[in-house]
Amino acid sequence: MGKATRGPSAMLQLFSIFLEFVIVFIALGVATRRKKWYGYAFAFTFAVYVFYDLALHYQINLPPEFRAGIFFAATVAALFAMLALLLKP
């Protein structure tokens, strides 16, 4: 594991990661309480963002194929969730 970055921009980045984490739980609430499948899609998407951003922050070396794969999966999940919301009657 690498060193964490420091300074004001690092603090802002950590706060952003915290907000992404909060969004994961809000999306899970939408999924479980409102019985909306797209809540799981958004939770997955933002969980990937949390993982990805923490890996960058702590300078964890991940294989490029893995990074691209999880980011693509998160994007597809968000796309389907947004389409579900758009096409919702």
For the chain, the C-alpha Rg in angstroms (whole number) is 15
The low-confidence residues of the chain, meaning pLDDT below 50, are: none
- Give CA 11 to chain center in angstroms: 18
The pLDDT assigned to 5 comes to: 64
Give the tokens for residue 22: 């909060």
The pLDDT assigned to 12 comes to: 92
Give the tokens for residue 74: 């998160």
Query: In 10 A of CB 47, how many CB atoms?
Result: 19
pTM: 0.88
